């Protein structure tokens, strides 16, 4: 993620002390050295409320992922219930796609992977995407 020049923050309603213990006792066994990004505490749910992921009844933030561009605009959001894990490869794919778009103005078709064909938006492309891209 550092190579992509992105900043990652983890936020939950747990205290910083809970994060420390969780990182030391569990996460460090899955990721060498533990989590390599800050884990922030949102004990009153104020950040979760801003992103509409705070569950008032349970007093927790629901799992969510937000891609925020350098201008502070949310470009993508994914909210998942606890039984389903997140996909870090999809996160990286989306980051690369948004960064490519920022640099080139090109757009990525569904399922785009780095190095794959992109589309150049134009009036001529309208109604003709099928000529340029076919889903697999």
pLDDT band at 1 (very low <50, low <70, confident <90, very high): confident
Task: For residue range 14-62, list pLDDT tens digits in order.
Answer: 999 999 998 999 988 998 888 888 999 999 999 999 999 999 999 999 9
Rounded Cα–Cα distance for residues 39 and 77 (Å): 19
CB–CB of 81/97 below 8 Å?
A: no
pTM: 0.81
């Amino acid at each position: 993620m550092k190579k992509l020049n992105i900043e990652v923050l983890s936020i939950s309603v747990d205290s910083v002390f809970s994060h420390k213990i969780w990182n030391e006792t569990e996460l460090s066994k899955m990721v060498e050295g533990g989590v390599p990004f800050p884990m922030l505490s949102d004990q009153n749910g104020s950040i979760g409320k801003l992103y509409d992921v705070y569950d008032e009844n349970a007093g927790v933030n629901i799992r969510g992922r937000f891609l925020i561009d350098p201008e502070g605009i949310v470009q993508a959001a994914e909210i998942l219930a606890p039984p389903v894990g997140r996909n870090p490869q999809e996160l990286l794919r989306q980051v690369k796609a948004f960064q490519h778009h920022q640099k080139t103005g090109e757009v990525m078709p569904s399922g785009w992977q780095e190095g794959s064909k992109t589309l150049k938006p134009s009036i001529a492309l309208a109604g003709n995407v099928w000529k340029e891209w076919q889903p697999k």
